[in-house]
Structure 1
Amino acid sequence: MSVRCFWSSTARSFTRSSPAAPGLLCWRLLGPSSVTRRNMSSERQMDHLEKTSSNYRQNALYPAQVCGIMDESETVKRVRIAAHPDFSFKAGQWVDFFIPGVETVGGFSMCSSPGLLQREGVVELAVKYTKHPPAHWIHTMCAVGSRVAMRVGGDFFFNPSPSDPSVDLLLLAGGVGINPLYSILLHTAGLLHLNQASGGRDYKIVSAHLCYSAKNTQELLFKSSIIKACREFPDKLSCDLHVTQQSTDVDSHLQPFINRGRITEEELRAHVDPQRTLCFLCGPRPMIEALSKTLMDFGLPKDRILFEKWW
Structure 2
Amino acid sequence: MNTLEIKTIEKITPDVLQIRTSKPEGLEFKPGQATELFIKKENWKDEGRPFTFTSLPDDSHLEFVIKTYTGHEGVTDKLVDLKSGDKLLQNEIFGNIYFRGEGTFIAGGAGLTPLIAILRDRQRNGGNETNKLIFANKTSKDIILKDELKEMLGDRFINILSGEKTEDFANGRIDQSFLKQHIINLNQKFYVCGPDPMIESVVSDLKALGVEAENIIVEG
Q: TM-score, normalised by structure 1?
A: 0.63
Contact 1:273 1:300 in 2 (8 A): no
Q: TM-score, normalised by structure 2?
A: 0.87
User: Secondary structure of the residue that 2:131 maps to in structure 1?
Assistant: strand
> C-alpha offsets along residues 6-56 of structure 1, whole Å, 9 cap, x if unaligned?
xxxxxxxxxxxxxxxxxxxxxxxxxxxxxxxxxxxxxxxxxxxxxxxxxxx
Structure 2 match to 1:245: 163
> C-alpha offsets along residues 79-133 of structure 1, whole Å, 9 cap, x if unaligned?
111111211211111111022221211211222333xxx24x1121122222263
Deviation of residue 272 (structure 1)?
Answer: 5.5
1:128 counterpart (67, 73, 78): 67
- Give the unaligned 5+ runs of structure 2: none
The percent of aligned pairs where both chains have the same amino acid is 19
Structure 1 match to 2:215: 304
Distance in 2 (CA, whole Å) between partners of 1:261 and 1:75 is 21
User: Secondary structure of the residue that 2:130 maps to in structure 1?
Assistant: strand
Distance in 2 (CA, whole Å) between partners of 1:157 and 1:283 is 12
Structure 2 match to 1:183: 117
Q: What does 1:151-162 correspond to in 2, within 5 Å? A: 151-159=91-99
The Cα RMSD (Å) is 2.1
Distance in 2 (CA, whole Å) between partners of 1:113 and 1:296 is 32
Q: What does 1:140-151 correspond to in 2, within 5 Å? A: 140=81, 142-151=82-91
Distance 1:301 1:229, change over 3 A: same
1:113 aligns with 2:56: yes
Kindly indicate whether structure 1 or structure 2 has the higher relative contact order, using CA contacts under 8 Å at least 6 residues apart.
2
Contact 1:90 1:157 in 2 (8 A): no
Deviation of residue 159 (structure 1)?
Answer: 4.1
Which protein is richer in helix relative to its size?
Answer: 1
Distance in 1 (CA, whole Å) between partners of 2:124 and 2:98 is 12
> C-alpha offsets along residues 201-232 of structure 1, whole Å, 9 cap, x if unaligned?
xxxx761110001000111111111001124x
Contact 1:171 1:280 in 2 (8 A): yes
Distance 1:152 1:212, change over 3 A: farther
Structure 1 match to 2:190: 279
Q: What does 1:207-246 correspond to in 2, within 5 Å? A: 207-231=130-154, 238-246=156-164
1:192 aligns with 2:119: no
Deviation of residue 156 (structure 1)?
Answer: 1.8
Deviation of residue 302 (structure 1)?
Answer: 1.4
- Give the unaligned 5+ runs of structure 1: 1-60, 161-166, 194-204
Q: What does 1:51-62 correspond to in 2, within 5 Å? A: 61-62=1-2
- Equivalent pairs counted in the alignment come to 214
1:265 aligns with 2:176: yes
2:10 counterpart (70, 90, 107): 70
User: Secondary structure of the residue that 1:113 maps to in structure 2?
Assistant: coil
User: Secondary structure of the residue that 1:207 maps to in structure 2?
Assistant: coil
Distance 1:272 1:295, change over 3 A: farther
Computing the radius of gyration over CA atoms, which structure comes out larger, 1 or 2? Answer: 1
Which protein is richer in strand relative to its size?
Answer: 2
User: Secondary structure of the residue that 1:173 maps to in structure 2?
Assistant: strand
